[in-house]
Amino acid sequence: MNIKLTLVCVFSMLFSAVMLQASWTFEEINYSPGGAWDDDYVYRISWRPQGDYALIAACDGLYRYNYEEETLEYLDIGSRKARDVQFSRDGTFALISNLTEIYRYDHAESGFGEITTITDIQYSGTQEIRFYDVVFNPAPRDNLAYITANRQSTSGQHQLTIYRYDPDASPQIYPDYTGGTTYAMNDAFGGMRASFQPDGDYFVITNKFANGYSEGIFVYDPDQSTFPKLPAGAMQWFPRNTYLGNSNAVTMGRASGQRFVLVRGNGRTQRTIQTGVPASFNNWDQPSPSPDMAVYSGDADYSYDGMLGIVVERAAWTPYHRIGTFDHNGDASGGVDLVGLPEQRPLRINAVAWHPNFHMGLMGGEKRWLIRFSTTAIPTPEPTATPVPTATATPEPPDCINHGDVNQDGLITSADAQLAFFIVLGQFIPTHEQWCAADCNADGQVTAADAQQIFQTVLGQSECQDSVGFR
């Protein structure tokens, strides 16, 4: 079915005192009913940076939408399925994830390129890995992918881990802890979405699982220049001080003079702005007037010039589907109803992606529903000065007490020596206090020598730095 429908929605956006009247056009390009509830979704959309086509990850396979021809092609990839897809910065390949596997798609001028399952993955000390969002650094620093994952170690801990993909390395996919990690004793990480700061300095991660970690954002800074990881190796975490819930959409603006993040959860869209030296995301607000949408949201993206952000809803809306719109500073500019689409299908919209060069893009969702949208050209606003960060005192890290009681049970036993050794092997991710306790000789590292010294402390043959008088 290919029915072209036009909707003119007028709304106002204030761009440096310039009021803009914008019209929107929506066109249905695919609707394929049938299949089980969880087997008929469009999950993610990724445009090739050159803009000639987009790849669409769906549960029933892979789709290719050709921009100039306005045609849609389909490839059955069997049982592999596709839940996320992202093109590399140079457009030569894309990575596809489906929770348990990663595939490489090599670009082809027409039709579909070769798809290869990547099997060279570092699993040492790992019981299971679930792969989620794939992101590439937009800055010309490298062409290696970052892959968010829930890693479960052989000791049972769950760990938010960032993996890298390097086709010239062995293993090709390996964990990268340079920007930190985060751990939990239960299955606390899932449905993760990630978005890079447009200058490539760092990226933020949201976590959909309904627990404490769904109430804010993680920040992964590869070179530690803006958001250094904590002393124990954890990523920095910035919670929302009021309810956010199941944060499952995130995007970062490209044109603003300030660095900000838009996060959508079960509540309305929230914004947080980077402030201070060292940097933080401790100031949250709700952009106003916030668009009136259903309670869930599935995806968010900014236009190529950073002038207009879109948030799509995951839950079906009655009587019309609606997208939320945000300006270059993250201020809400209203909502747009998708009035006029065939039969007002009661379906969920799960994904959105702007074209890399034009004010158009694709949305997709349930029943492989695909919609092409476009809007009138948006003028570039007058540049605003980049705010100068306000210096704040560097927060004092918690005291590091090197007493050897790694498991924090009030005793120093052989179990503590064993746990320290697991830390050395990477099979246990400690809290700040546990890491300090394991650093028995207080030299700022946890090594096999610390594990040995803790055992000698148990035998009365040695003492940790702070263990005198502890027992």
The structural domains of the chain, ordered by start, are: 26-375 (2.130.10.10), 398-471 (1.10.1330.10)
Q: In this predicted structure, what is the pLDDT of residue 433?
A: 80
Confidence of residue 1 (pLDDT cuts 50, 70, 90): very low
Query: How large is the average pLDDT for residues 16-43?
Result: 68
Specify whether the CB–CB gap between 370 and 363 falls below 8 A.
yes
Q: In this predicted structure, what is the pLDDT of residue 278?
A: 79
Q: In this predicted structure, what is the pLDDT of residue 39?
A: 62
Q: Between residues 236 and 343, which one has the greater pLDDT? A: 236
Burial class (CB in 10 A: 0-12, 13-18, 19+), 10: exposed
Each residue's pLDDT tens digit, 276-293: 877 999 888 877 655 555
Is the predicted pLDDT of residue 363 greater than 90, yes or no? yes
Query: How large is the average pLDDT for residues 87-107?
Result: 94
Lowest-confidence pick of 203-212, 221-230, 349-358: 203-212
Is the predicted pLDDT of residue 469 greater than 80, yes or no? no
Return the axis-axis angle of helices 448-458 and 414-425, rounded to nearest 10°. 180
Is the predicted pLDDT of residue 347 greater than 80, yes or no? no
Q: Between residues 430 and 76, which one has the greater pLDDT? A: 76
Confidence of residue 214 (pLDDT cuts 50, 70, 90): low
Specify whether the CB–CB gap between 238 and 220 falls below 8 A.
no
Could you give the CA distance from residue 440 to residue 468 in angstroms, rounded to a whole number? Answer: 12
Q: What mean pLDDT is reported for the chain?
A: 80
- Cα angle 299-304-306, degrees, rounded to a multiple of 5: 80
Is the predicted pLDDT of residue 397 greater than 60, yes or no? no
Q: Residue 345: what residue type?
A: R
Lowest-confidence pick of 115-129, 215-229, 367-381, 420-434: 420-434
Q: Between residues 334 and 452, which one has the greater pLDDT? A: 452
Is the predicted pLDDT of residue 463 greater than 60, yes or no? yes
Query: How large is the average pLDDT for residues 361-382?
Result: 81
Backbone angles phi, psi at 155, to 5 degrees: -85, -5
For the beta sheet containing 93-97, the strands, ordered from the edge strand earlier in sequence to the opposite edge, are 84-87, 93-97, 102-106, 115-117
Confidence of residue 17 (pLDDT cuts 50, 70, 90): very low
Q: In this predicted structure, what is the pLDDT of residue 237?
A: 87
How would you write the chain as a 3-class SS string? CCEEEEECCCCEEEECCEEEECCEEEEEEECCCCCCHHHCEEEEEEECCCCCEEEEEECCEEEEEECCCCEEEEECCHHHCCCEEEECCCCCEEEEECECCEEEEECCCCCCCCEEECCCECCCCEEEEEEEEEEECCCCCCCCEEEEEEEEECCCCEEEEEEEECCCCCCCEEECCCCCEEEECCCCCCCCEEEECCCCCCEEEECCCCCHHHCEEEEECCCCCCCCCCCCCECEEEECCCCCCCCCEEEECCCCCCCEEEEECCCCCEEEEEECECCEEEEEECCCCCCCCCCCEEEEEECCCCCCEEEEECCCCCCCCEEEEECCCCCEEEEEECCCCHHHCCCCEEEEEECCCCCEEEEEEECCCEEEEEECCCCCCCCCCCCCCCECCCCCCCCCCCCCCCCCCCCCCHHHHHHHHHHHHCCCCCCHHHHHHHCCCCCCCCCHHHHHHHHHHHCCCCCCCCCCCCC
Is the predicted pLDDT of residue 103 greater than 80, yes or no? yes
Q: In this predicted structure, what is the pLDDT of residue 10?
A: 31
Q: In this predicted structure, what is the pLDDT of residue 377?
A: 56
Query: How large is the average pLDDT for residues 237-248?
Result: 69
Confidence of residue 352 (pLDDT cuts 50, 70, 90): very high
Is the predicted pLDDT of residue 262 greater than 80, yes or no? yes
Query: How large is the average pLDDT for residues 238-246?
Result: 68
Could you give the CA distance from residue 215 to residue 205 in angstroms, rounded to a whole number? Answer: 11
Q: Between residues 184 and 234, which one has the greater pLDDT? A: 234
Percent of the chain whose predicted confidence (pLDDT) is above 70:
77
Is the predicted pLDDT of residue 428 greater than 70, yes or no? no
Q: In this predicted structure, what is the pLDDT of residue 6?
A: 33
Whole-Å CA distances, 418 to 14, 423, 468: 61, 9, 20
Whole-Å CA distances, 91 to 54, 106, 201, 356: 11, 9, 21, 12
Each residue's pLDDT tens digit, 154-180: 877 888 899 999 999 999 999 999 998
Q: In this predicted structure, what is the pLDDT of residue 357?
A: 93
Is the predicted pLDDT of residue 297 greater than 60, yes or no? no
Q: In this predicted structure, what is the pLDDT of residue 8?
A: 34
Is the predicted pLDDT of residue 458 greater than 70, yes or no? yes
pTM of the model: 0.76
